[in-house]
Amino acid sequence: MTTAIGVVMTDHIVAGRLENHELTGSALRYPADTRQLDALTAIPGSELVEMLASHVATLAGDGASPVDAIGIAVPGVVRHGVVEESPNLSQLKGTRLSEQLSKVLSGKGITAPVYVGNDADAIAAGVAATRGQLNRLTRVWTIGNGIGYGRWPYVEGVWEGGHITVTLDPKERFCGCGGIGHLEGIMGYRAMRLRFLDMEPEEVFAQAKQGDGRCREFVDLWHRALAAATSSFIHLAGPGRFYFTGHNVGFLDLPVLRGHLETMVKLSPLQSYSLEIMQPDDVTAVLGAGVSALRALTW
């Protein structure tokens, strides 16, 4: 039996214990109140490491079998255990998270290896695991305050799909990283609020359905941008299934997205792609973080 602990840290922390790729017991969550958003942004990085260690220690003591691996998933550019950039948790930038967390856990008597990866990659791994497709290419778009792109199986690279360039319009400057023409600068929740200072994103999509011209034009741009980014990855890595999830996946209209994709992907060998919406689910991401950590033992 393989045992792992998966932890995902985005705008909240959720952690669970996995045995044979299945969650056992209840997941831990901080903050407990699901309505509390951005609870982590003001917490210093060192305190976040201690919080992660506390969750792991609690779960490690919940079973009789020792823990084989610990998987941590965070937003941003994560390579070799280092959080090189994390716009949504800026206090983690430059943190050697695997090294620091391992040190804290060692003081608690926990010596299992710590693997740190991207949160969207963890969702992709979780989707592949729950569908018995760990041997197949799985790609996920996460739609929220930022836009994430997850891929399984993991291959070396940055994979910041939310910052792929989808327009050459120099006026498209709403991406949080400061880049021009990025997907996140159109689709991201923060970017939409900057663009429509007189309306919330939910109102924009609602008004579009009521026939408002300005809102309908933007909603079409929103879908065309996602189609352009998806088309780029189809042309680079081939067709297959794309999953869409995240807090704002409710904005997505699959027929509209598919219609735009059909105008962009014309090579017949690349047209066997499929699109599927998944409702946000912390358990899938936790499962993926644990599975990724177990797979990393064999790399």
E strands present in 112-227? 114-118, 138-143, 147-152
Q: What is the pLDDT of residue 267?
A: 98
DSSP character at residue 144: S
User: Which has the closest alpha carbon to 273: 245, 234, 222, 244?
Assistant: 234
Q: Cα dihedral sign for 19, 21, 23, 27?
A: positive
Q: What is the pLDDT of residue 232?
A: 97
Domain ranges within the chain, ordered by starting residue:
3-120+286-296, 125-277
Q: Do domains 3-120+286-296 and 125-277 have the same CATH topology?
A: yes
**In the structure encoding, which two tokens stand for residue 213, read together?**
């011209």
The Cα 57–Cα 178 span in angstroms is 39
Q: Cα dihedral sign for 280, 283, 284, 289?
A: positive
Task: Give Cβ neighbours of residue 151 (< 8 Å, ≥ 6 apart).
Answer: 121, 124, 137, 138, 139, 140, 159
Q: What is the pLDDT of residue 39?
A: 83
Burial (CB count within 10 angstroms: exposed 0-12, middle 13-18, buried 19+), residue 279: exposed
Side chain identity, residue 216: R
Are 219 and 205 in contact, with CB atoms under 8 Å apart? yes
Topology, domain 125-277? Nucleotidyltransferase; domain 5 (3.30.420)
Q: pLDDT of 208-264, one tens digit each?
A: 999 999 999 999 999 999 999 999 999 999 999 999 999 999 999 999 999 999 999
In the chain, the N- to C-terminal Cα span, in Å, equals 19
Per-10-residue mean pLDDT, the chain, length 299:
93 93 91 80 94 96 86 94 91 96 96 96 95 92 94 89 96 94 96 95 97 97 98 96 95 98 98 95 94 90
Task: Give Cβ neighbours of residue 89 (< 8 Å, ≥ 6 apart).
Answer: 9, 40, 41, 48, 74, 75, 76, 83
Q: What is the pLDDT of residue 32?
A: 86
Are 129 and 291 in contact, with CB atoms under 8 Å apart? yes
Say which CATH architecture domain 3-120+286-296 belongs to: 2-Layer Sandwich (3.30)
Q: Phi and psi (nearest 5°) for 73?
A: -120, 130
